[in-house]
Chain A
């Protein structure tokens, strides 16, 4: 039995489930609003929510796709000391259940799904990947206008209310001029003259890459997500050099995540520059363009 933890009506989850049905693999899909009670039946751990019930032992693999992961019901006790003690007991049972589930075959884990972009860049360098020179600063004293870019180091790049862009997306932008004052610590990175961009999907040691030929197009030159819908960038299947792939594999192992999308730039200098990893992003768009059927790959793996 496969356990799927995802947000409701999430399209990638739906697509993978179509394949699980096709492959006749049984699964349990946990919704965001589901809270589980931990029970012991015949000395075995049993989880129960309003729509699902299962023994932990019956779960063969776990896919943490998105959302808050497995959530639990906790009792409320009138006496504060009792409440505190019971909360602690709940905590250790919950911790055990999550550890047990994460020890099974899985795709990503709820316990480390949040990736620190700054940490990833350091680990990438340790793995031998080339990373464009970067630093954090509170002013533009060391920033060379036109030669450096700035982007968000937060996980969520979609702003709830942004003034400048209608869709509220935080795009990568070139720094065009120096600023007078100081500001909140901001990420600056050398702008790489690029041949093209590469998006690599990683799953348990296997890599599927797509080249995004955005250089020809002024609108998408700095950030390919600023789509040009009239003539979309040419996207084609791509093979990362073996060595870069091996280093990427090492990076994923070091970060202890086994699925995600990595972004690279192939520079005009012929070098491959690592930019970042997104473990929870959407990948079925490029998968369809390249006929990779990554939804099927995930279903096969689980």
Chain B
């Protein structure tokens, strides 16, 4: 007898009509049919020969093709005599040191992140995103780098307004002093400059758009990410809010700057104190298995989610909003991607969040 052994780092996520096969080692995912799902399931309890016996002569070659596909993609291997029991399952536990991994800071200038540096270090935060309202000089960036030179922060992304002084020389100087800055986005540009490729230590994007916080939260294929730690986080926690902290332009501390609840202001409250607030982590364990529609979606383990803008149709027993993300245009029941902003059922929620203008601007 021959047996098919599925590799433990191949994750199959079953949706309403399709499955997503995620290769958690090679970081890619592909859509497949429910028919293949049934075959994979049957192969877990039956030998290949036994399984073949379940099908009529016409179907046998199709099952054979599926099996060839699985072996060819190295989703598993065939053993003879018995299953190979020396391959234990992959632990799906999410293990990550530190209480907070990511911080978002909205600010007028870079004095605010510098002022928060001791708390950021104390919390061992690894990734920082800064949204700055004022134009920045090279020295501003370099001062920021110095403030974090001895900290836990590994990566810094900065959004800042475009201005006439930003040229090759400016970026070159910045590149020489940059250690942790890996991405720069200049918004409100009047002339769009080409992307810089790998000329500098960081990626640079120029956009004419006036980026605002409420532009966040879109669910789209291009944001999907098959990456083992992210998938494990999505299986165990809320992939958007877990281990995140945000500071809005007024200094209010929130889980995400677009979420309604605030947990103090940096004027009189430390990040550590805000995190200790009993409601701060309310959404951290709300997985997509418990969110309307998402729970039937094949993309749920590689998706980003958004709890700040939802369809506002469901509240769970703990009082948490477990409605589908507003800015998701996908239906796992029809398998169609449609424009979320044009869906008639979403208009009420769009008005609630006051997103009409954002939608108009994005379509312009």
A interface residues with partner B (beta carbon < 8 Å): 15, 18-19, 21-22, 211, 213, 216, 231-232, 234-241, 288-293, 295-296
Contacts and interface: CB of A to CB of B under 8 A. Distances in A.
Given A18-B124, A296-B95, A236 B228 contact: no
A268 to B, nearest CB: 12
A235 B24 CA distance: 10
B124 A236 contact: no
Contact of A289 (B85, B98, B152, B228): B228
Given A234-B25, A237-B88, A239-B86, A291 B232 contact: yes
B232 A237 contact: no
Contacts of A216: 74
- Name the residue among B87, B97, B124 with the largest chain A CB count within 10 angstroms: B97
Interface in B189-232: 228-229, 232
Given A232-B25, A291-B228, 18 more contacts: A18-B98, A18-B124, A18-B152, A21-B98, A22-B99, A211-B87, A236-B8, A236-B87, A237-B8, A237-B88, A239-B85, A239-B86, A239-B88, A291-B90, A291-B92, A291-B232, A293-B95, A296-B97
Contacts of B228: 288-289, 291
Contact of A21 (B88, B91, B124, B232): B124
Contacts of B232: 291
A289 B9 contact: yes
B41 interface: no
A235 B88 CA distance: 12
B74 A234 contact: yes
A237 B89 CA distance: 7
A22 to B, nearest CB: 4
A234 to B, nearest CB: 5
Contacts of B98: 18, 21-22
Contact of A238 (B25, B86, B92): B86
Nearest to B154: A14
Interface size class of B (residues with CB under 8 A): 20 to 34
B93 interface: yes
Interface of A is mostly: mixed
B159 interface: no
Nearest to B89: A237
A216 B232 CA distance: 28
Contacts of B92: 291
A18 B7 contact: no
B95 A18 contact: no
Interface string B134-154: 000000000000000000100
Contacts of B152: 18
A232 B26 CA distance: 7
B182 interface: no
B77 interface: yes
A18 B228 CA distance: 19
Given A21-B98, A234-B7, A289 B25 contact: yes
A237 B91 CA distance: 9
Interface in B221-249: 228-229, 232
Given A19-B97, A289-B228, A237 B26 contact: no
A162 B85 CA distance: 42
Contacts of B86: 211, 238-241
A166 B242 CA distance: 43
Nearest to B9: A236
Given A18-B124, A296-B95, A213 B90 contact: no
A238 B87 contact: yes
A234 B99 CA distance: 32
Contacts of B99: 22
Contacts of B25: 232, 234-236, 289
Contacts of A290: 90
Closest 3 A-B residue pairs measured CB to CB?
Answer: A18-B97, A293-B95, A22-B97
A295 B229 CA distance: 15
A21 B85 CA distance: 37
Interface in B51-107: 74, 77, 85-93, 95, 97-99
Nearest to A216: B74
Contacts of A21: 97-98, 124
Contacts of A292: 91
Nearest to A291: B91
Contacts of A211: 86-87
Contacts of B90: 236-237, 290-291
A103 B3 CA distance: 50
A235 B87 CA distance: 11
A238 B88 contact: yes
A227 to B, nearest CB: 13
